[in-house]
Chains A and B, each alone.
Chain A
């Protein structure tokens, strides 16, 4: 039989691991019914307005890209959307948001110095990635704490010398 201290050593990481798996799998939010949406995104001065969008999984989304100053593009990760809009010519793309999660969209046409940082985010709900990641972060801190207890690698000293 394993000794009590050995059991404790195995128990802590086991519990943390199970908590992590459970946390990743449990659905946190109910999904709403899908609908059809049209979202107008204006692009100008290296920003998208709005830059953070939220839709429901299954929604039929039409993005309208309106360029305000120069030619801008919009490339959406995770979906085959890559459109270019000149000022005066709204570009449109329609897709079905069938993957949940958070997807970055970026400008795909060089539009000046800050072009690489022209970024927006599309969240397809139910998406709890941030909550799950935060939970995992907490478990990571606990795991690190357990590791420190289980495996001391610094010889104990009394206090420390003055600078």
Chain B
């Protein structure tokens, strides 16, 4: 063998090695039952796979890796602990879905203005387990028009306090103590009902507002408000602001171009929860509806597939803290 054959062989091996590695890696990825999912900012493609399929009860192995910034992986309506994805670090996880259905997976760490669009679906196939048809959300049952304006007929002169309301020592009328009717009633409507009730005759207008706040606290527990605060910080504060005033860091970047038809032509600012005229005219059911269904072209995401009803009610319980004081 001529001496340079050795050299030629060596260089050829080196030159071929790279394409072979490429092909080998690609083929290995295709044949394996493990799904490798790359996470990118929504503007750069989002999740590399947006639909996954698995049979009920079968394990779904995922290799998750972020290709740019910090992302997170979680599944809506499940108790899976969200998995943080640090850039460039692969995380392996195995998921098992006992029940068939469609599950939404989503990103849990803000990764740009279109973070909330980073979602996909896992279709879990299998024999349908007979279950009760899911209840429609309260806003649908009540037939609330989510897009109609809802100005409050009256607003308080000072910030209502639930503790002051409790101190007034008034027995609430039965209609106001009932949860489902409380959820259907806006605070302004509650105020009007309380004002009309004889038991509040000696109280000032602001005192009656304190009673309205107390009504809120009678069904919103500490745990619920705390859960709502955490959900707000993680999901809402980026646009709505940590102070709830609609001045969050993402507020100026709401992606007008990607909104479908049916929205207004000018980008709207995120809702200002500190605006009494707007907030106090909305019932908790309306807020639940807005959160569940989204904003129909305003840039407000729809959280229905991601948050459970209980979580959304916790959020609405928390939202009233922008209007009411919990304590004196």
Do the two chains touch directly in the complex (Cβ atoms below 8 Å apart)? yes
Binding site for B on A (CB under 8 A): 42, 44, 66-71, 86-90, 109-112
Chain B residue contacts of A88, Cβ below 8 A? 110, 233-234, 236-239, 241-242, 248-250
Is residue B61 within 8 Å, beta carbon to beta carbon, of the partner chain? no
Contact assessment for B68 and A112 in the assembled complex, using a CB-CB cutoff below 8 Å? yes
Chain B residue contacts of A69, Cβ below 8 A? 112-113, 249
Closest Cβ of chain B: how far from A62's Cβ, in Å?
16
Given known A86-B234, A88-B110, contact A71–B70 (CB-CB < 8 A): yes
Listed residue (A66, A110, A111) with the most chain B CB atoms within 10 angstroms of its CB: A110
Contact assessment for B250 and A87 in the assembled complex, using a CB-CB cutoff below 8 Å? yes
Contact assessment for A66 and B249 in the assembled complex, using a CB-CB cutoff below 8 Å? yes
Closest Cβ of chain B: how far from A67's Cβ, in Å?
7
Contact assessment for A87 and B110 in the assembled complex, using a CB-CB cutoff below 8 Å? yes
Closest Cβ of chain A: how far from B93's Cβ, in Å?
20
- Closest residue on chain A to residue B89 by CB atoms: A110
Closest Cβ of chain B: how far from A57's Cβ, in Å?
31
Closest Cβ of chain B: how far from A15's Cβ, in Å?
55
Interface 1/0 per residue, B1-41 and A, CB below 8 Å: 00000000000000000000000000000000000000001
Is residue B137 within 8 Å, beta carbon to beta carbon, of the partner chain? no
Is residue B69 within 8 Å, beta carbon to beta carbon, of the partner chain? yes
Listed residue (A44, A88, A110) with the most chain B CB atoms within 10 angstroms of its CB: A88
Listed residue (B68, B110, B234, B250) with the most chain A CB atoms within 10 angstroms of its CB: B110
Name A87's contact: one of B68, B87, B238 (CB within 8 Å): B238
Closest Cβ of chain B: how far from A122's Cβ, in Å?
23
Closest Cβ of chain A: how far from B227's Cβ, in Å?
16
Contact assessment for B70 and A70 in the assembled complex, using a CB-CB cutoff below 8 Å? yes
Chain A residue contacts of B109, Cβ below 8 A? 71, 86
Name A71's contact: one of B69, B233, B242, B248 (CB within 8 Å): B69
Closest Cβ of chain A: how far from B181's Cβ, in Å?
33
Closest Cβ of chain B: how far from A82's Cβ, in Å?
15
What are 23 of the A-B contact pairs (CB < 8 Å)? A44-B249, A66-B249, A67-B249, A69-B112, A70-B69, A70-B110, A70-B111, A71-B70, A71-B110, A71-B111, A86-B234, A86-B238, A87-B110, A87-B250, A88-B233, A88-B239, A88-B249, A89-B234, A109-B70, A110-B70, A110-B88, A111-B69, A111-B70
Please, how many angstroms separate the alpha-carbon atoms of A88 and B70 in the complex? 15
Please, how many angstroms separate the alpha-carbon atoms of A112 and B88 in the complex? 11
Contact assessment for A112 and B69 in the assembled complex, using a CB-CB cutoff below 8 Å? yes
Contact assessment for A110 and B249 in the assembled complex, using a CB-CB cutoff below 8 Å? no
Please, how many angstroms separate the alpha-carbon atoms of A4 and B69 in the complex? 69
Listed residue (B70, B88, B113, B237) with the most chain A CB atoms within 10 angstroms of its CB: B70
Chain A residue contacts of B86, Cβ below 8 A? 109-110
3 cross-chain pairs, A with B, having the tightest CB-CB distances, nearest first: A88-B238, A88-B237, A71-B70
Please, how many angstroms separate the alpha-carbon atoms of A67 and B241 in the complex? 12
